[in-house]
Chains A and B, each alone.
Chain A
């Protein structure tokens, strides 16, 4: 009993809950504490001359929230937006302050506990693949889950394309 006691807070701190969602063939995870709400798809208002992955803005209880298509962000094949398409509203924190935005995903899977020790670093995939926005990989029920660092993914550079896109365009 006594020997275990000091251990438990440490484990608690090292474990955190992650919301997983599916995008094409892959499963991604975001810190549950950053999730504001999950809502169904509804038509967005387009923003002129926005980057392609920014679909537009939605009214989220009185505030105007941009909606990002993660498929476009990750250069995945396009999917149709249907009634079952889901928007996860997330909060990012950057130097610019707190921002809310929604990401369009194929479907929400589960909330899982992730032990910090089980998170594997992202392998170096060379210069062509930007992995800054990936916090690590973790295996849950024999599936690989990509843990996203949403502050890096969308934080201050919501309007800018990913580095890999820029590199691809430059090439």
Chain B
């Protein structure tokens, strides 16, 4: 019966994870001692909506745990529970546990119930300790029974006893009991009593069902037929019985808890019911209104779209761009009376297509705030563990970047921030002794620069210790005893695998894995990381990343009939080389002289096995490219235009090709391969080594 809820599970999980994030963020905003009621409300609302969702989807353990959490929050909100650091810790821990439980439920794994039970117990203790009267707190604000809807009945009236019991599908068919009662009230004086004895525990509630039944007493002159007529439109959706109880009203048989009209369930409009609900303490009697899934945070109207759909859209728009440029080429050839109109139409099309393309690409862009949002918590935890005082500053959270880049930059950032706190920021007394404020500052900042996004992680700690790094490098034989590398080169050392100056590895950092991984991750995104550091003043790590991985600025080069794209970022210079400029090294290929250096020369046609037009070095051009800090010269026939190209995967249908990072579709619909410059350079150094 009802809707298959499994299809909504994914949305529930996503929403809940987001909700937890906003809950965490809100918790961290709370001042211990003087909590902002608005923020507590936010936290409460989030917990509440997770509970509602979990209940709706039958995740009983999550719902029950969240309920306990909510009870504590309710106490805080009502001022009964004092928000202490330990309560705060408890709440943050609860967020973690909820997240883990959700994750386990998402993967359909079981979750250690002991862990949940322990924390739940702690929560209950916290509730009980601060709130000795909690147990006695009323479960629901008693609401007087619905005021009898009266209508002056001049005629001698009969008292009708009506019992109404909705069937399972009454609500899902859109029948509203309230409307029925209103219709009955037309006949005379009506009083309604609701029975809630069949309402199950929250966790077992099916939000599509109505668990209430009603006993109505109608004083009316209407005949039985007239009353029965009212039930016509709920026929089949509810069981009802109409009995004449005589001219005198008889008292109800059982004294059920009276239920307010407002408590009548209306799952169709759960959002509307939610605010009313929040005003009252939570009780078992009103659980259904919680079915409303609430998105975390105040978003300005957004919809959830699968990434696959967006990629498809981008793909299709890419095709439109290609078709458009093909038409433009054709349009230029057309002659005749309507040629001018055709061309102006094509020009219009070009503008529209360009705009379309840009807006579609923007769809994939997300503010970096999503990656930043985990830091307040992380910083708080790490600082607490290390006994340091840290103030975290976040700026430029609205800076947008591609979703893929965003997802993959999170871990490197976590690493840098941890390093800053662990290695950079000193202990409070050290800081005071150095004339700095006791609390250290870690600053995360993001901004756009050209077609790149810059993310800076800076701290006002002790800075990198050049001497120690150098000493360590010397002891490991990385730097010769006589060498005195530049400061820059010393900073470079910390990116080496296994390099750490920490005397003792903590559980946070100092194990020497990390900075090399950070750099590798950033490089795999096509970005780079720089360090600036001043002894005693702090360090600044600057990450520069491309805005998107989907597009690259490329230079087309041609070799024979083939066109290749060289990413512009890797091009140093293009030049013509005279035959005398090429030297052969025995057995190790050719080198050219470039600005006083000798660079290996790669003839692309030889490397790729294609027929080239230019055989002699002076017939073609040499494109000097750089990657991984090395330069090589690529010998090609000619240069073509520069253009932005959309990167397509070769691996989807084919596989990895050495020296090629992907493919793109040119204006004429043909495919051009994009060169993987670092890969090409690596392959040459391997060849030279061999």
Q: Which A residues form the contact surface with B (CB < 8 A)?
A: 43-50, 54, 56-59, 61-66, 99-101, 158-159
User: With a CB–CB cut-off of 8 A, which chain B residues contact A46?
Assistant: 562, 608, 610
Q: Mark B300-322, 1 if CB is under 8 A from A, else 0.
A: 00000000000000011011001
Q: Mark B605-627, 1 if CB is under 8 A from A, else 0.
A: 00111100000000000000000
In the assembled complex, the Cα of A66 lies from the Cα of B658 at a distance in Å of 16
24 of the cross-chain contacts (CB-CB < 8 Å) are A43-B670, A45-B562, A45-B663, A45-B670, A46-B610, A47-B650, A47-B673, A48-B657, A48-B660, A49-B609, A49-B657, A54-B654, A56-B671, A57-B650, A57-B671, A59-B665, A61-B319, A62-B316, A63-B652, A64-B663, A64-B665, A99-B652, A101-B654, A158-B654
How far apart are A166's CB and chain B's nearest CB, in angstroms?
A: 18
A45 touches B672 (CB 8 A): yes
User: With a CB–CB cut-off of 8 A, which chain A residues contact B672?
Assistant: 45
In the assembled complex, the Cα of A158 lies from the Cα of B480 at a distance in Å of 49
Asked if B415 is an interface residue, CB under 8 A from chain A, the answer is no
User: With a CB–CB cut-off of 8 A, which chain A residues contact B657?
Assistant: 47-50
In the assembled complex, the Cα of A63 lies from the Cα of B671 at a distance in Å of 10
Q: Which B residues form the contact surface with A (CB < 8 A)?
A: 315-316, 318-319, 322, 562, 607-610, 648-650, 652-655, 657-660, 663, 665, 669-673
In the assembled complex, the Cα of A13 lies from the Cα of B648 at a distance in Å of 38
User: With a CB–CB cut-off of 8 A, which chain A residues contact B316?
Assistant: 62
Q: Do A62 and B671 contact each other (CB < 8 Å), given the known contacts A48-B608, A48-B610, A49-B609?
A: no
* 5 other A-B residue contacts (CB within 8 Å) besides A59-B671, A99-B654: A47-B660, A48-B673, A57-B663, A57-B671, A64-B649
User: With a CB–CB cut-off of 8 A, which chain A residues contact B670?
Assistant: 43, 45, 59
How far apart are A50's CB and chain B's nearest CB, in angstroms?
A: 7
Pick from B607, B648, B669: contact of A48, CB under 8 Å: B607
In the assembled complex, the Cα of A63 lies from the Cα of B648 at a distance in Å of 7
A64 touches B652 (CB 8 A): yes
Most interface-central of B318, B649, B671 (chain A CB within 10 A): B671
User: With a CB–CB cut-off of 8 A, which chain B residues contact A100?
Assistant: 653
In the assembled complex, the Cα of A59 lies from the Cα of B668 at a distance in Å of 10
B319 touches A62 (CB 8 A): yes
Pick from A48, A64, A158, A159: contact of B671, CB under 8 Å: A64
In the assembled complex, the Cα of A105 lies from the Cα of B608 at a distance in Å of 26
The 10 lowest CB-CB distance pairs between A and B, nearest first, are A48-B608, A45-B671, A62-B315, A66-B654, A64-B663, A99-B653, A59-B665, A62-B319, A64-B648, A100-B653
Please, which residue of chain A has its CB at the minimum distance from the CB of B658? A49
In the assembled complex, the Cα of A44 lies from the Cα of B562 at a distance in Å of 10
How far apart are A68's CB and chain B's nearest CB, in angstroms?
A: 10
A62 touches B665 (CB 8 A): yes
User: With a CB–CB cut-off of 8 A, which chain B residues contact A62?
Assistant: 315-316, 318-319, 648, 665
User: With a CB–CB cut-off of 8 A, which chain A residues contact B663?
Assistant: 45, 57, 64
